[in-house]
């Protein structure tokens, strides 16, 4: 089998901020997650925890129709390593079920590590 690694993609910050907002019945805008800009010159979002990283990835990349379960395998001072496990792949005999892996950086950017079967 041949695998092809995809290229790096940075998610747009504007779309991310829109996904982090909800509008309740009374019309007041409330943020889903507490986010803070790194500086006033650059409108990047700061990811503080594993749950922030998971929320960002789930909002931006989805769950493939309910098939993927996202989990954070490790993190350091710069990034989180987040993995999607496919229940379909596990059912069909895959050893790990890995469908998608990404690095979520603390500034809110995401680097893809997806492999496609040829």
**Residue found by looking up tokens 């496990």 in the block:** 85
Q: Write the pLDDT tens digit of every residue in 18-69.
A: 544 444 545 555 444 444 444 444 455 789 999 999 999 999 999 999 999 9
| pTM for this entry | 0.59
Residue-range definition of the domain harbouring residue 69? 3-36+43-117
Q: Kindly indicate the confidence band of residue 71, based on its pLDDT and cuts at 50, 70 and 90.
A: very high
Instruction: Please state the domain count of the chain.
Output: 1
CATH code, 18 = 3.30.160
- Looking at residue 33, its pLDDT comes to 47
Taking the C-alpha atoms of residue 49 and residue 53, their distance in angstroms, rounded to an integer, is 6
Answer yes or no: is pLDDT of 8 > 90. Answer: no
- Helical H segments across the chain, by residue range: 13-19, 50-61, 87-91
User: Per residue in 80-101, pLDDT tens?
Assistant: 999 999 999 999 999 999 999 9
Which residues lie across from 117 on neighbouring strands? 3
């Amino acid at each position: 089998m041949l695998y092809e690694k995809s290229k790096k993609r940075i998610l747009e910050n504007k779309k991310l901020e829109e996904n982090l907002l909800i509008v309740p019945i009374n019309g007041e805008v409330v943020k889903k997650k507490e986010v803070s800009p790194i500086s006033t010159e650059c409108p990047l979002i700061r990811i503080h925890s594993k749950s922030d990283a998971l929320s960002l990835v789930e909002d931006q990349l989805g769950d493939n129709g309910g098939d993927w379960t996202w989990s954070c395998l490790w993190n350091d001072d710069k990034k989180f390593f987040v993995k999607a496990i496919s229940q379909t792949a596990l059912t069909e005999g895959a050893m790990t079920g890995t469908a998608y892996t990404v690095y979520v950086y603390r500034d809110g950017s995401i680097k893809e590590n997806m492999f496609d079967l040829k």
